Chain A
């Protein structure tokens, strides 16, 4: 076990990121303990000698890494686990397929506790100009309603639904940033904060600017897309004057 840790420490950061998915799949479920001390040398060889570009597409590489690691870790189970996990296979190369993006999205929904904070459900849809959309839900009819209507009529808050654009090619980082952005809208709707924001706003423009600034600030707080979020905050800020 100690040797495994030592081996991993010697990897470069980028390779560490790349291999993370397969390592997790192959090692954790593939029988890490069975590999013992010999595993570290095996990894070193794969990383040092492997010519990544020569092995074709992400799928091939994923299966290869999964296979090598699974094999090293001493189990068919490890190989199968790495091979079968689309999310992990995509994580290996940071280039997510549609299924990979959906899997990544689902994992971030759980990580950021969207269900606990007012999201009723989510769906995947092709959207034109955004990564995700939040819609307020009427507690009476269950239909989607305007944000301003939710703010005016339900000061104690409403639940919402989240539509994620899994068709847009984005990185894992952007998926998580969008989950955090939409989470702020979801929270504002759920807590009734939108009502207070509406009362403060002097116009519809000001109202939507305040909502968007809060969401961009939230993503910024989590350390996501600093320049993008700062740029957006600056843009929306114009509408508050």
Chain B
């Protein structure tokens, strides 16, 4: 009887943790004046950050996602740099920065992303 309860508890916990990840999944963009932008792509527990200017594809970093309440921690895989910390907001995510000039990433659909990301970058991120 007790083991049955534990089994249900585990099932509920698994369901809840999965639903949180699923909610987080998606494309987040911080886009400035058609000059440059950053995109965060989250798929379950993994993701990527892309940065560009309107004439250069600057960087792409992969990370592992860790969620603690409303905080999302991006643990970068390849680079020896500190993790980024994001706060969940109504419209998307907010990146906390040292200079308090926080970056706001809006959650967008793939169709919206196609409009916001320069074509030559979009191809690199989604069409390869």
Contacts and interface: CB of A to CB of B under 8 A. Distances in A.
A and B from one assembly?
A: yes
Interface of A: 125-135, 144, 146-149, 163, 181-182, 185, 204-205, 207-208, 211-212, 232, 235, 241
Contacts of B35: 129, 232, 235
A132 B18 CA distance: 43
Contacts of B55: 130-134, 181-182, 185
Contacts of A132: 55
20 contacts: A127-B120, A128-B119, A129-B118, A133-B54, A133-B55, A133-B120, A146-B58, A147-B56, A147-B58, A148-B58, A148-B60, A149-B60, A163-B120, A185-B55, A204-B59, A207-B58, A208-B36, A208-B51, A212-B56, A241-B99
Interface in B87-128: 99, 118-120, 124
B3 interface: no
Given A129-B118, A241-B99, A211 B53 contact: yes
Contacts, number: 67
A157 to B, nearest CB: 16
A147 B119 contact: no
B54 A135 contact: no
3 smallest A-B Cβ distances: which pairs?
A148-B59, A130-B54, A129-B34
Given A208-B51, A235-B35, A241-B99, A127 B119 contact: yes
Given A204-B38, A208-B36, 9 more contacts: A133-B55, A133-B120, A144-B124, A147-B56, A204-B58, A208-B52, A211-B53, A211-B56, A212-B53
Contacts of B57: 135, 144, 146-147
Interface residues of B, number: 19
Nearest to A202: B98
A127 B58 CA distance: 17
B59 A146 contact: yes
B34 A147 contact: no
A133 B59 CA distance: 15
A124 to B, nearest CB: 13
A127 B118 contact: yes
A10 to B, nearest CB: 43
B90 to A, nearest CB: 24
Q: Which of A125, A144, A185, A208 has the most CB of B within 10 A?
A: A208
A144 B35 CA distance: 21
A130 to B, nearest CB: 4
Given A130-B54, A211-B53, A235-B35, A147 B120 contact: no
